[in-house]
Structure 1
Amino acid sequence: MKGKSIIKVQKSSGEKVDFSLPKLKKSLRHSGASEKDIQQIIDIVRDELYQGISTKEIYNRAFVLLKKKKSVFASKYKLKKAIYELGPTGFPFEHFIAEILSHSGYQVAVGQYVEGKCVSHEIDVIATKNTEKLFVECKFHGEEGRNCDVKIPLYIHSRYQDLMITQSQDCKNAGWVATNTRFTKDAIQYGQCVGLYLLSWDFPKGNGLKDRIDRIGLYPITVLTLLSNREKEFLLDRGIVLCKQLIVAAFYLDHLGISEKRKEHILNELKLLCNA
């Protein structure tokens, strides 16, 4: 990047914004890389910037450079992209949300039908803890740039109201909407107004998906840089959504015909991620 001219970058939504060096540094720090490594990567990426470069291209370049440093750094860095790779059905994402709640002390059930006053509703995740009962609707998007607008919480709230008529008032019932993308400003405003709990990649601030995953080391297998897309699909089809699940069910790596040496590298990366 020559001189002090402001570089405009293009987001996945098509919006053009100023390139943010602090934002890039922050995302690289989440990978666990050292400050020295981060600075080296930033110097290279900054020199390759040009007007209109996509955020995807910046990400890809930083990812490759991180992977050269250490594969586990690249795995942690690609967390957001890895969540998108849980598709296309969204079913693994429902299990992922269930696991996050399970690690917070809830008993969870996925894909349950519950009778409302007017109709029966399929609830993606039901989580209970003591007298608390959560009804969670998961909205998964397989591509970036597709945020959840106000129509989503409007629709979920109407379902939730129908459900509450048939639910025990002895429980502290709560409706949730969880997404792997972001909520629009209106969606957040409406959700807060009617009492829906919204969970997205970066909302609530400090307790969004990214923060929860980093805090408990609950990484999806799609973050792994040592597995091919075909191998990840094989594991997802068999209900292996989390890195910690693959550690316990490592025999699936044998089913994939993975060599002992490569298997050792994969298990080492899994343990580093889960202990992070």
Structure 2
Amino acid sequence: MKNNRIEITKSSGRKVRFSLQKLRRSLRSSGANKLLVNQILDKVRDQLYQGISTKEIYNLAFDLLKKERSYYASKFKLKKALYELGPTGFPFERYVSAILSHSGYFTEVGKILQGNCVRHEIDVLAYQNNETTVIECKFHTSQGLNCDVKVPLYIHSRYNDVKANWNADPNKITQIKEGWVVTNTRFTEDALQYGSCVGLYLLSWDYPKGNALKDRIDQLHLYPITVSTLLSSKEKQNLLDKEIVLCRELLDKPFLLQEIGVSELRAKKIIHEISELCTHKTTK
């Protein structure tokens, strides 16, 4: 059976045509060379059948990458790793704040601001060049759930309420100029159209093209701690509870691994894995 006739089942239950090129791009983004990518594609092709789930394809490719080199698998699982920043949305908010901090902003997380009408808890405030950006984060714990138009609609009304009160205050040394909505999933077409119409900046896993969340992460090498293939789920959660969301933060505080019960031998392997990940250049 030809690959272009294979239909796969997405996490949402929707059936789509299998794309060999899309899988190739994902594998190449892990840093694997062309020879390894072609070897993995050959093995995946041999396992394809009508209706195979994207999860099964992902697991097969992930295991093959991990056998070669763990940090290949870590980069390959980036999208999944963002879902693992839960179960609450707070680690994702801290993660978004970290990305902006490394992009030249001064940031604050979880601030209570007075609007014209009511008070609002703002996920992230970002300051740069005497301007303040109000950022709301929409976190999903499972794939297949996209942000529809109700999300930017709701956030736009909160943004306007806060902006009106903030900009009218003569004691503020900055002006609120922009509102963002950031999600670890995708926006629907209606959500994107509304955001563009009212001037909200929307940032998702794959939008805007070339400067999406995945692009920013790779450019800055700011990988979440959940990408590690060597840490257990419990160990990742323990680190998140200690407000460690970046691999880079763990490199600065490796002693935390011993604090959560990781043996010295495993700790060395984990630090080596994330060190390679944070320094390895993305292959285009």
In structure 1, the partner of 2:237 is 233
Letter in 1 for 2:35: K
In structure 1, the partner of 2:179 is 175
Q: Contact conserved, 2:248 with 2:278, CA < 8 A, in 1?
A: yes
What is the CA–CA distance in structure 2 between the aligned matches of 1:172 and 1:134, rounded to whole Å? Answer: 6
Q: Is the counterpart of residue 201 in structure 1 residue 202 in structure 2? A: no
Higher relative contact order (CA 8 A, sep 6+): 2
Q: Contact conserved, 1:124 with 1:136, CA < 8 A, in 2?
A: yes
In structure 1, the partner of 2:127 is 128
In structure 2, the partner of 1:72 is 71
TM-score w.r.t. the length of structure 2 is 0.94
In structure 1, the partner of 2:223 is 219
State the Cα deviation string for residues 193-219 of structure 1 (Å, max 9, x = none). Answer: 000000000001111110000101000
Letter in 1 for 2:104: G
CA shift, 1:257, in A, is: 2.8
Cα RMSD between the aligned structures? 1.1
CA shift, 1:255, in A, is: 1.5
What is the CA–CA distance in structure 2 between the aligned matches of 1:257 and 1:233, rounded to whole Å? Answer: 13
CA shift, 1:168, in A, is: 2.4
| Runs of 4+ more than 4 Å apart | none
What is the CA–CA distance in structure 2 between the aligned matches of 1:95 and 1:135, rounded to whole Å? Answer: 14
CA shift, 1:261, in A, is: 2.2
> Structure 1 residues 172, 122: closer, same or farther in 2, change over 3 A?
closer
> Structure 1 residues 231, 18: closer, same or farther in 2, change over 3 A?
same
> Structure 1 residues 3, 77: closer, same or farther in 2, change over 3 A?
closer
What is the CA–CA distance in structure 2 between the aligned matches of 1:162 and 1:51, rounded to whole Å? Answer: 51
What is the CA–CA distance in structure 1 between the aligned matches of 2:159 and 2:19, rounded to whole Å? Answer: 40
Q: Contact conserved, 1:94 with 1:110, CA < 8 A, in 2?
A: yes
In structure 2, the partner of 1:39 is 38
Equivalenced residues, count: 275
Which SS does the other structure have where 1:206 is aligned?
Answer: coil
What is the CA–CA distance in structure 1 between the aligned matches of 2:24 and 2:3, rounded to whole Å? Answer: 19
Q: Contact conserved, 1:31 with 1:76, CA < 8 A, in 2?
A: yes
Q: Contact conserved, 2:3 with 2:18, CA < 8 A, in 1?
A: no
Q: Contact conserved, 1:131 with 1:172, CA < 8 A, in 2?
A: no
In structure 2, the partner of 1:58 is 57
State the Cα deviation string for residues 237-273 of structure 1 (Å, max 9, x = none). Answer: 1101110011111111111332222211111111111
What is the CA–CA distance in structure 1 between the aligned matches of 2:2 and 2:256, rounded to whole Å? Answer: 53
Q: Is the counterpart of residue 109 in structure 1 residue 113 in structure 2? A: no
CA shift, 1:106, in A, is: 0.4
In structure 1, the partner of 2:191 is 187
Which SS does the other structure have where 2:165 is aligned?
Answer: coil
Give unmatched runs, 5+ long, in structure 2.
169-173
In structure 2, the partner of 1:100 is 99
In structure 2, the partner of 1:90 is 89
CA shift, 1:4, in A, is: 6.0
In structure 1, the partner of 2:22 is 23
State the Cα deviation string for residues 161-220 of structure 1 (Å, max 9, x = none). Answer: 111211227625111000000000000000000000000000011111100001010000
CA shift, 1:223, in A, is: 0.2
In structure 2, the partner of 1:7 is 6
State the Cα deviation string for residues 128-182 of structure 1 (Å, max 9, x = none). Answer: 0112211000000000000000000000011111112112276251110000000
State the Cα deviation string for residues 54-95 of structure 1 (Å, max 9, x = none). Answer: 111100110000000100100000000000000010110000
State the Cα deviation string for residues 99-147 of structure 1 (Å, max 9, x = none). Answer: 0100111000000001000000100000001122110000000000000
CA shift, 1:34, in A, is: 1.0
What is the CA–CA distance in structure 2 between the aligned matches of 1:87 and 1:4, rounded to whole Å? Answer: 35
What is the CA–CA distance in structure 1 between the aligned matches of 2:10 and 2:30, rounded to whole Å? Answer: 21
Q: Is the counterpart of residue 253 in structure 1 residue 252 in structure 2? A: no
Give unmatched runs, 5+ long, in structure 1.
none
> Structure 1 residues 73, 168: closer, same or farther in 2, change over 3 A?
same
% identical equivalent positions = 60
